[in-house]
Structure 1
Amino acid sequence: MSKKRMQISATLLGILLSAGTFASAYPVFAAQSEVSVENNVDIGNINISLEKHGLDEKGEKTDFDDAQVVVPGQVVDELVDIFNLANDAWVRMKVTFDDSTIDGNMLDDSLLNLGDDWVKCGDYYYYTKPVKHGEAAEFLKSVSIPAEWTEALSEKDQKINFTADAVQEKNFTPNFKSDDPWFGTVIEQSVTDAYTVPVTSNNPFSVAYEGGAAGLVKVGDDFFSNWGTLMPGDVVSGKVTISNKYAQSVKIYFRTDTIADDNLLQKLHLKIACDGQTLYDGSMAGEITNKVLLGDFAQGSSKDLTYTLTVPAELDNQYAMNKTKTKWIFTAELPETPNKTVATGDSSLPSAFAGLSISLGAAGIIMLSASTKRRKGNEEN
């Protein structure tokens, strides 16, 4: 019986000694968090309509009767307005007279009673104020029929033709003292009647590392949304504040992803910088495929990611109401905790193993001592 107990005691000591040589490995933490933002670009539109009305007996607008018969000396209520259906615009009007059925040049500008704020330059009348979306420029109030016209002109047709043009108000300043206030701008036919009211704002954007389950947290779903719709020649800028609110330092990286495939994306120019260092400068169709380190952020530190978007001035009507987008991805990484191996005699032995060694050691000594006493007892007997 005593021999068996000695074997058990030896086994326990063997466990005790081998426990002292176990290596203890701490887990390696490389915590990551990622957040993405889709940034959208919308191009505006220029579109107008030309409307003509008459006045009824109550002085209210009514449909104009193009076939009405007039008499010499009559003032014909003919109201011609240019309505702006899209983005703010400058407008102009060209007037031509069709008197082919009348002998001699009987029609000219002197017949026209114009609205305010129009100036004649060359072949056009230019409105000297920009016309806002939904508003109108009143061009013509009435037409005065010459009193000297005689019965010889009865049954003759007399026509006045109106042609209106518009050009964007943003990034364009006419020179009304020039013979060509619009500098030879080529007028194109509007390609769409669609229009979205531009909504600009001044919302702050940020990406912050908060740690825990939250990880990276963004404020703002579209970092381009403050701009509203853009027009040719626009140069707009914005910023995103990158920060660390966590107790431990964290590395934050940045990359982009091209998620659209259109001609507009190729035309736009984008520059991105952080802390004075340019990260990207080129077509918006390009991308930062390899993540770029924005910095190693200590608790409470921050940096500004700045960006500038340029819409080329030569962008023409085919891009009206076009849309495109790009994707930005932010990644946060906590520092890795290195592996740690603990061998026998290491003063940094985990307390759990130290406690286990002491307990097992005491148990082994007690059992050996008890066995010795039993053996001595047997000898005495």
Structure 2
Amino acid sequence: MRKRIKTTAGILFLGLLCVSGTYGYFSDTLQVVNHISVGDIKISMEEYEKKGTKEVPYSNTGEILPGAVISKIPRITNHALPCWVRARILYTNSVKELEGLNDTNLSGFPAKWIRRGEYYYYTSILKKRESVDLFQSVHIPASWEKEHELQKLGMIIQAEAIQAANFTPDFAAMSPWGNQLIRQCIHEENGTMTCKKPQTKLTVEFNGKAHKLLAVPGDFFTNLGTAMPGDVLTDTITLSNTTDDPAELLFRTSVKGRSEEKRAMLKDVKLTVVMGNEILYRGNLESTGLEKNRSLGRFASGQTGNMKFRLEIPTEWDNRMAQKSADVTWIFTVNEKVKEVVPDTEETSGKKEDSGRTTAAKDGEGRKTAHVKTGDLSRPGVLFALLIASGGLLLMIKTWKGGRRT
């Protein structure tokens, strides 16, 4: 009789397990690698002369006569980002005692060139692939006589450029560019500049149909183009949940595997991230303070939100940073409470493992997702009835034992 009671109690306990279940969270993560690159200033100067109605590359004619007008057209071309240009003209003379050439011997300056100090400044921005002529011709004084016969004259034209972004010359001043240090810029042989593309909407979506996180585009800095010293670059990422259930979105960053040079570049750039009206992060682009997940909020079904970011490029960057680049990975994670209850029965767990392991369910497209056991979702009415039944059994056992003693 005692053996039979133990067996019955065991059956009731198994019955209790059969109607219990587990629940947990579906989680998905996506990584977006954002690239930042520094723009470049690149100009060239070629010289032309007119032969009849045509322009041809300039050639040194050698001997010249007093009173001659020499066609000489220095042309400055911009091959990179918009810039301001200036030029100065230096003269050489093999016979110091004799008069040489100077700016009064030049003609054909376009109206937008102004003389300030030793430089000529072009007062309009020179855009990419645009060109401007400095002057058109050189006049040899008719008064020069035989003593100038063996004189050798030379002209050196030095053209310089400075970025148009975040810089405005003061053309009323004697030095319109101020005390800017102009460095020699080293360019790639076949370097081409990256220009801004048409604006692309940045989105991170917890997609209902795919039941996963989707990002568009694959680089959230795509709208920023190439950065220039002093730039302040901003954009907005739209976050949305198009599934049927609430979900929490999380955000963190990573620069794992980046070189020290690239990390140093990221440290120079200031970053601010704002979610809604709350400042989520303020620091540098390397963003070690965002290595752990930060919650962007819990999104109801159909809810959207905006995550804004702002990059501030150092004004101290110069030609040494030209065409350099670095990247940082932004990582988004979604946690969704799984609705599906997985009963621990022989029908659903024919390949039953021990109760300490997690079970698995399938999402809308048949992918397996891990469910971490966090509680019991059994029907309370059934559980209550089983508890009463098991209590009644214990009472019967106790009463039976008592009856045995009398």
Class of the TM-score when normalised by the shorter of the 2 chains? 0.7 to 0.9
Q: 1:318 aligns with which of 317, 320, 332?
A: 320
Counterpart in the other structure of 1:371? none
Residue 168, structure 1, aligned to residue 160, structure 2: no
Q: CA deviation at 1:17?
A: 5.9
Cα distance, 1:196 vs. partner?
1.6
Superimposed CA distance per residue, residues 276-312 of structure 1 (whole angstroms, 9 cap, x where no aligned partner): 2222211212231110011011112121111000111
- Partners of 2:9 and 2:255 in 1: how far apart? 63
The equivalent position to 2:79 in structure 1, one of 51, 73, 85, is: 85
Partner of 1:31: 26
1:104, distance to aligned residue in structure 2 (A):
3.2
In 2, the alpha carbon distance for the partners of 1:215 and 1:106 equals 77
Q: Aligned-pair distance for 1:222? A: 0.8
1:31–1:99: structure 2 CA closer, same or farther, 3 Å change rule? Answer: same
Aligned to 1:250: 247
Tell me, yes or no, if the aligned pair for 1:23 and 1:341 is still in contact at 8 Å: no
1:285–1:13 distance in 2 versus 1, CA, 3 Å: closer
* Cα distance in 2 between the residues matched to 1:78 and 1:158: 14
Partner of 1:307: 309
Seq. identity, %? 27
Residue 176 of structure 2: aligned partner: 181
Q: 1:72 aligns with which of 38, 44, 66?
A: 66
1:85-234 correspondence to structure 2 within 5 Å: 85-101=79-95, 103-116=97-110, 117-193=112-188, 194-211=191-208, 213-234=210-231
Preserved contact between residue 102 and residue 157 of structure 1 (Cα < 8 Å) = no
Shift of 1:16: 7.6
1:145-179, Cα deviation, whole Å (9 max, x unpaired): 11111122112111122111111111111111110
| Structure 2 counterpart of 1:340, from 373, 376, 382 | 376
Task: Please give the alpha-carbon distance, in whole angstroms, between the structure 2 residues aligned to 1:141 and 1:151.
Answer: 27
Letter in 2 for 1:168: Q
TM-score, reference length from structure 1: 0.83
- CA 1:180 to 1:277, structure 2 compared with 1: closer, same or farther past 3 Å? same
Contact in 2 for aligned 1:102/1:156 (Cα 8 Å): no
Q: Which runs of 4+ in 1 moved over 4 A?
A: 12-23
Distance in 1 (CA, whole Å) between partners of 2:187 and 2:118 is 27
How far apart, CA to CA, are the structure 2 residues paired with 1:50 and 1:20? 90
Q: What SS does the aligned partner of 1:347 have?
A: helix
Q: Determine helix, strand or coil for the equivalent of 1:265.
A: helix
Shift in CA distance, 296/69, structure 1 to aligned 2, threshold 3 Å: same
Q: Could you tell me how far apart the structure 1 residues matched to 2:21 and 2:210 are?
A: 22
* Structure 2: distance between partners of 1:291 and 1:236: 24
Task: Provide the C-alpha distance between the structure 2 equivalents of 1:52 and 1:18, rounded to a whole number of angstroms.
Answer: 97
Query: In the aligned structure 2, how far is the partner of 1:190 from the partner of 1:327?
Result: 30
> Which amino acid letter does the alignment assign opposite residue 278 of structure 1?
I
Q: Distance in 2 between matches of 1:213 and 1:44?
A: 38
Equivalent residue letter for 2:193: T
Q: Is the 8 A contact 1:102 1:153 kept in 2?
A: no
Q: CA-to-partner distance for each residue in 1:226-253, whole Å, 9 max, x for gaps? A: 1111110100101101111111111110
Deviation of 1:348 after TM superposition, in Å, equals 3.5
The structure whose Rg is larger is 1
1:72 is displaced (CA, Å) by 1.4
Distance in structure 2 (CA, Å) of the matches to 1:256 and 1:114: 57
Q: Secondary structure at the match of 2:381?
A: coil
Hey, what's the Cα distance between the residues in 2 that align with 1:164 and 1:22? 85
Unaligned residue ranges in structure 1 (runs of 5+): 1-9, 354-381
Query: In 2, Cα distance between the equivalents of 1:15 and 1:185?
Result: 88
When the two chains are superposed, the root-mean-square deviation of aligned CA atoms in Å is 2.8
Paired with 2:159 and 2:77, the residues of 1 have a C-alpha distance of 10
> How many equivalent pairs are there?
342
Deviation at 1:71, TM superposition (A): 1.1
Contact 2:238–2:306, Cα closer than 8 Å, also in 1: yes
Q: Is the 8 A contact 1:25 1:339 kept in 2?
A: no
CA distance in 1, matches of 2:13, 2:99: 120
Residues 23 and 376 of structure 2 are in contact (CA less than 8 Å); yes or no, is this contact kept in structure 1? no
Q: Partner of 2:22: helix, strand, or coil?
A: coil
2:53 to 36, 52, 59: 59
Shift in alpha-carbon separation, 1:218–1:342, aligned structure 2, 3 A: closer
Q: Who is 1:268 aligned against? A: 269
Q: What's the CA shift for 1:336? A: 5.8
CA distance in structure 2 between the aligned counterparts of 1:331 and 1:21, rounded to whole angstroms? 36
Deviations 1:309-368 (A, max 9, x none): 01111101111001111111111111266532759xx63369xx9xxxxxxxxxxxxxxx
- In structure 1, the residue matched to 2:342 is none
Distance 1:119 1:211 in 2: 63
SS, match of residue 205 in structure 2 = strand
TM-score using structure 2 length: 0.78
Q: Distance in 2 between matches of 1:231 and 1:76?
A: 40
